[in-house]
Chain A
Amino acid sequence: MDKTFSLTIRNHFDELSRLTPRVDEFLEKSDVSSRAVFTINFVLEELLTNIIKYGYDDKKEHMIGVRLDMTAEGVLVTLTDDGHAFNPLDQAPPDFSQPIYERKRGGLGIFLLKDMVDHLEYNRRDNLNVIEVRIAEKSG
C-alpha cells in the first residue's frame, strides 16, 4: 500500500475537481477515518483556494504541489507553491463579538481549519511557500 500521495496541479479552480477524487481514493485505500477524510478535504479546499486567489502577482500558469504522507500519527498534508511570500494563516479571524449579520466576510475558513487540525505551519523555503498540516487519526 502506498504511504504517499503526490500530485501537481495548476493554479485554476477547476483543478480542485481533478484533485479531490484522487485524494479520496488514496485516503480510502489507506483506511483513513471519515472524520479525517472530511478534514483533509476541508484543508485542501480552503488553503488551495487561498493560494489560487491571492498567491500570485501575474496571470501566468503556476504549479502547486500537493502531497499527503501517512504517518504513525495520522496524515501529513504538504502544499508547495511558487507564488509571492504568502501565509494564508495570517488572515484575520472573524470578529465574533459582532452579531453574525454584521461580521465582515472572510477569515472563516482558515479559522475553522485551525480548530480542526492538530498542527499547522507555514514556511518560506527557496522562494517557495510551504504549508504543512497534520491531521491526527484518533482511535475509536
Chain B
Amino acid sequence: MELKVVKQDDDLTHIALAGRLDVAGEQEIREQLLGEIVTRKKPLLVDMTAVSFLGSMGLGLLFQCAKTLRVDGAKMVVLNPQPMIAQVLEGSGVSEIVQIAPDMKKALKVLGF
C-alpha cells in the first residue's frame, strides 16, 4: 500500500492511496497516517481511486482517522472509491463519518470549500 501526500497546507491535507488496504497494507500506512497526517488536524481528503481492496482492518483505520479528526472539528472524505469499497463503507456505517465523494468538486464541498 502506498500513501502519497498530494497537498498539505493551512486549509487541508490531500493524500492519495494506492494498492490493497488489507492487513499488510494497513500496517504499512498506519504510522504515517495517524502520526503525521491526522495530527495536522486539518480536513482530510483521501483519494482512493487507486485502492483495489478494503478489508475490515483498513476500514477500522479509516474510521479511527475520522474519529480523531472529528475531535478537532475536521471532516474527512474519500474520493472516488471503487463500488465494492463504497459498499463496505456504507454497509458498515463508517460512511456516516467518512463521507464518499465521486469527484473532487464534491469532495471539497464536503470539507467546506
Contact = CB atoms under 8 A, between A and B. Distances in A.
Q: How large is the interface on B (under 10, 10 to 19, 20 to 34, 35 or more residues)?
A: 20 to 34
Interface in A34-58: 34-35, 38-39, 41-42, 45-46, 49
A46 B63 CA distance: 17
A96 B84 CA distance: 21
A115 to B, nearest CB: 6
Interface residues of A, number: 24
B58 to A, nearest CB: 9
Interface in B87-111: 88, 91-94, 96-97
B59 interface: yes
A1 B43 CA distance: 49
A112 interface: yes
A115 B91 contact: yes
Contacts of B16: none
Interface of B: 20, 22-24, 53, 55-57, 59-60, 63, 67, 70, 83-84, 88, 91-94, 96-97
Interface of A: 13-14, 16-17, 20, 34-35, 38-39, 41-42, 45-46, 49, 94, 96, 100-101, 105, 108-109, 111-112, 115
